[in-house]
Structure 1
Amino acid sequence: MKLDMFDAGVFVVYVLGLLIIAWWISRSDKREGADTKDYFLAGRSLPWWAIGASLIASNISAEQIIGMSGSGFVVGMAIASYEWMAAITLVIVGKYLLPIFLKNEIFTMPQYLEQRFDHRVKTTLALFWLTVYVFVNLTAVLWLGGLAIETVAGVDWWYGMLFLATFSIAYSLYGGLKAVAYTDIIQVVLLIFGGLMLSYLALDKIADGHGLVQGFATLTERLPDHFDMILSPQNEQYINLPGISVLVGGMWVMNLSYWGFNQYIIQRALAAKNIQEAQKGIALAAYLKLLMPLIVVLPGIAAVVLYPDLPAADQAYPSMMELMPVGIKGLVFAALVAAIVSSLASMTNSISTIFTMDIYRPARPDKSQRHYVMVGRVTTLIALGIGLIMAEPLLGKFDQAFQYIQEFTGVFTPGIVVIFLLGMFWSKATSLGALSAALGSAVFSFALRLAFPDLPFMDRMGLVFLMCLLLMVGVSLLGRKAQVNTDACVSLDEVSFSTERSFNLASFGVVVILASLYTLWW
């Protein structure tokens, strides 16, 4: 499939328009003066609507749109639990975790770990995050994005990846987080419009032109198993989504790690004007997450009916774009690319933030602010170069990239969540305890995988979380006399967990909607 000339023109207009806006924002920043706070945290000036949009734009990328749609093709609506449970996780992050981070005025997650524990914990986790961001997240976004461009536009996947990397650099390298966050507003609007349009056209085609409602009814009738939210042990996909564990088990560990302690996500909230703006932005993101399955999962399910013989599940979303009329196809393709480049820009900005602020600056503390910004920009270029080289070797053999990403990161996720939760809410936690949890997470994960190969990875993460929790508590208590950090950042006395009435009402609404959805498709 190739884009029509008019579709290509629509896409080019989008690219040029986005670059012009990003450069205008960047020039404004230059007049104000660039330092690390401006470049990495947008001068801590982001309003709530920019935070909410940027959170979703950073999250919804190739591995979400392409990968989750592919999982929808294979698994069905149950994969939407990643989106819907994320909504309530965001509410928890906004109320209980974000106030602590903002009170400590941190740039990065490793920086908080240094304040709470010591430089060993900070450096260990910083190196881990840099490795995962470059070799897992960045490579996945580039690879799946390149495949999508090849499917839709007929351009070789390598040139597609090269275009995505270049586009990302062009609009984010100079302006930093502020350029990324404000252009994300455009990206999210386009993404939602394009995704909803694709879902509508797919359902209308399934209904032979009789509309959205009839198409959805026909789809649920023909594929009833694809609309089971809680999979039974007899389901062949149970190992990926093990029944009730998506509500009370390991998915909580995954979501808290991703939305609460993941640099390239939480960095938007750290850049807020104040805690109230950050919480409003998180509430907006929570409602957008409730909407995401209609955009990324439903097209994958519809592809089972419309394109049942796809060679790979991850071809579902790009193949569905054949339904688009001329002009709209170019716009939806632009929405897909928008999501990809937004996530690339967010990831590379966070990679450069962690490397510059947590690895480079402590080693070279006497340099100027502009020097650190330049180091951040060079780091961005190097990270993208590594991602381009390693994308195909690492991901070329996997059919469902989304599940691969979840399982790989799940090896280390339980330990990270334990370290942060105990560090934030238990003053007796020590540095040695934190390091033991970090190491134990990998050891326990691999041991359980070898001993119980049929244990679903989500259940494995839940068990590893409990094991790391016990390990860190035990090591901290045993070594407490030798090492204890009583830094003020441990104390919660000056942290307010009270929230505005609007946030409380929004949170209640999220709970009600989630309860209704799971009751409907239990």
Structure 2
Amino acid sequence: MEQQIDANLTMLDYGVIAVYLAIVIAIGVWVARKTRTGEDLFLAGRSLGWAAIGFSLFASNISTSTLVGLTGSAYTGGLTVSSYEWMAGIPLLFMAFIFAPVFLKSRISTTPEYLENRYSRRVRLYFSGLTIVFTVIVDTAGGLYAGAVVLKVFFPDLDIWMSCVAIGLFAGIYTATGGLRAVVYTDILQAVVLICGTGLTAFLMYQSVDFSWESVRSQVPEGHLSIVQPIDDDTLPWPGLFTGVWLLGFWYWVTNQYIVQRVLGAKDLSNAQWGAILGGILKILPTFFIILPGVMALVTLPDIQNSDQVFPIIITEVLPSGLTGLVMAGLIAAIMSTVDSTLNSSSTLLINDFLTRPEKEPDPETAKKWGMMATLGFMVIAIAWAPLIQYFGGLWAYIQQAFSVLVPPLVVCFTLGALWSRGTENAAFWTLIIGHTLGLVVFMLNQFGIWPLHYTISVTIMTAVSAAIFVALSLRDDTPDVREDALWQRADAFDTPATTAPVLKNVKTHAILLILLMIGTLVLFW
């Protein structure tokens, strides 16, 4: 039986939320007036600086399911779930030093476009179509559903369908008119609100246990304050921690259009690299601002029966008037950030990958009009699908089951495509087909208990299998399509101004800082 939550929102709280929504609307209107072409809509005119990129990466990733799901998982399973946050730094390092140079020097608009440059159009369209389906059905609809569920906790009379419609319309309209620039600028605001709101919540939770680590350690179950868990752990076994987590993150941070779009919109390569590293550094914060408070709630709020209610209860029990409204604005920010990003990226993929050909380039105004129509169309689909997610056995399971099938062959095709010139088009196409078919088989076997391995371990195994398929098929091809001028073969492909800048501006210095922060987090909570 679920606990009843008394939100106790005051007029001050409602005022804070209203001010936040008003600012978002103002940003959308202001940016819409400056959005004139398809490139403005899809890539912010390639004008984004490193700070905007880094904060937008962070805000787009911190969804409602992150705030609610991670806090609840920390309450029931401990700190091990923090690995999905701080280990994002590993794929973001790949982005900064390998893929950002390849992507930006190729002047691509979408990640599938890279696959056409490297392999063929059929590989591009396969990946693009798959990404659109998963982005709209999983990410956008999942963000709408998570937002509706959380709002219903605070406002029990709200209907999930109506909440999905309201959220979808609000985010969809300013995204359709303002494009990526509107998304990124609102993301900066959302990142600040999220950091301030969760930071204040975390401080008050630490205060509730008298800032005593020993007090927390003595009152929580054994292993709750440890990241590294036994191999039979249901939440995250240690083999999955060191291999599967960052592989899942590789898909998200390196190949997923709705995240990578910020990097593609950078004003230059140095800003793209600095932005990627800043995103990785910001991803250290959720361990201390979101996940640790979830563990501490076991001490101060020990009788919560439904883990999904841990974050809402913390807000209502700990925060004073006004700050509750700030954190509620943070929740709304997380909802909007996920929905606006996924809608914009889906329309970008549809227009650039399916409706645009070299011999049939639409004029800038037409591209903008198509993009707006696509965004609104995907918004309608996501709104219609979102409420159905409640029948899939939980949001977290829904998302993880979907992406554990999708990820392995994509990681292989992108990585070996960039680093191994012998890889062929035929190998890439059939690796995707065979890898996804095998992934579906493993998924079905897992549902019937025949394949008992944790999904993070399954992802590792399937990535190795996909790599073997790719290499074998490439070596078997008697006429490999290796191009002498290919970007990934050139010695200067990965040379950038940011790697030769003075120490404080050198991206290598920032990368070392990120690596030290990740190692420090692992050692601190080993």
TM-score, normalised via structure 1 length? 0.92
Match of 1:471 in 2: 469
Closer/same/farther in 2, CA of residues 218 and 383 from structure 1, 3 Å limit: farther
Match of 2:363 in 1: 368
Write the mapping of 1:300-449 to structure 2, written as runs, cut at 5 A: 300-323=294-317, 324-362=319-357, 365=360, 367-399=362-394, 401-449=395-443
Q: Distance in 1 between matches of 2:393 and 2:72?
A: 12
Contact 1:25 1:179 in 2 (8 A): yes
SS for the counterpart of 1:106 is coil
Cα deviation digits, residues 51-78 of structure 1 (max 9, x gap):
1111111111122212222222222110
1:186 aligns with 2:180: no
Contact 2:16 2:326 in 1 (8 A): yes
Match of 1:495 in 2: 493
Closer/same/farther in 2, CA of residues 37 and 62 from structure 1, 3 Å limit: same
Match of 1:505 in 2: 509
1:514 aligns with 2:518: yes
Displacement of 1:234 in angstroms is: 4.6
Q: Distance in 1 between matches of 2:380 and 2:492?
A: 44
Contact 1:111 1:358 in 2 (8 A): yes
1:297 aligns with 2:291: yes
Q: Distance in 1 between matches of 2:172 and 2:384?
A: 16
Letter in 2 for 1:513: L
Q: Choose from 267, 273, 290 the match for 1:273.
A: 267
Displacement of 1:480 in angstroms is: 4.1
Match of 1:131 in 2: 133
Q: Choose from 87, 90, 93 the match for 1:91.
A: 93
Match of 1:195 in 2: 198
Write the mapping of 1:16-27 to structure 2, written as runs, cut at 5 A: 16-27=22-33
1:286 aligns with 2:292: no
Write the mapping of 1:442-461 to structure 2, written as runs, cut at 5 A: 442-449=436-443, 450=445, 452-461=450-459
Letter in 1 for 2:95: V
Displacement of 1:314 in angstroms is: 2.1
Letter in 2 for 1:101: F
Closer/same/farther in 2, CA of residues 367 and 503 from structure 1, 3 Å limit: closer
For the aligned residue pairs, the C-alpha RMSD in angstroms reads 2.1
Q: Choose from 76, 79, 82 the match for 1:80.
A: 82
Displacement of 1:336 in angstroms is: 1.1
Q: Distance in 1 between matches of 2:377 and 2:304?
A: 35
Contact 1:64 1:402 in 2 (8 A): no
Displacement of 1:491 in angstroms is: 2.8
* Structure 2: unaligned runs, 5 residues or longer: 1-5
Displacement of 1:118 in angstroms is: 0.9
1:166 aligns with 2:160: no
Displacement of 1:291 in angstroms is: 0.8
Identity %: 31
Closer/same/farther in 2, CA of residues 507 and 126 from structure 1, 3 Å limit: same
Cα deviation digits, residues 248-303 of structure 1 (max 9, x gap):
x2223212111111111111011111111111111211111011222332233234
Displacement of 1:459 in angstroms is: 1.0
Contact 1:303 1:320 in 2 (8 A): yes
Cα deviation digits, residues 41-60 of structure 1 (max 9, x gap):
01111111111111111111
Contact 1:62 1:140 in 2 (8 A): no
Question: Size of the alignment, in residue pairs?
Answer: 507
SS for the counterpart of 1:158 is helix
Q: Distance in 2 between matches of 1:233 and 1:21?
A: 48
Q: Distance in 2 between matches of 1:138 and 1:338?
A: 14
Q: Distance in 2 between matches of 1:65 and 1:492?
A: 43
Match of 1:226 in 2: 224
Cα deviation digits, residues 110-143 of structure 1 (max 9, x gap):
1111111111101110111011101111111111
Cα deviation digits, residues 393-437 of structure 1 (max 9, x gap):
2244534x2343123211120100101111111112112111111
Contact 2:39 2:46 in 1 (8 A): yes
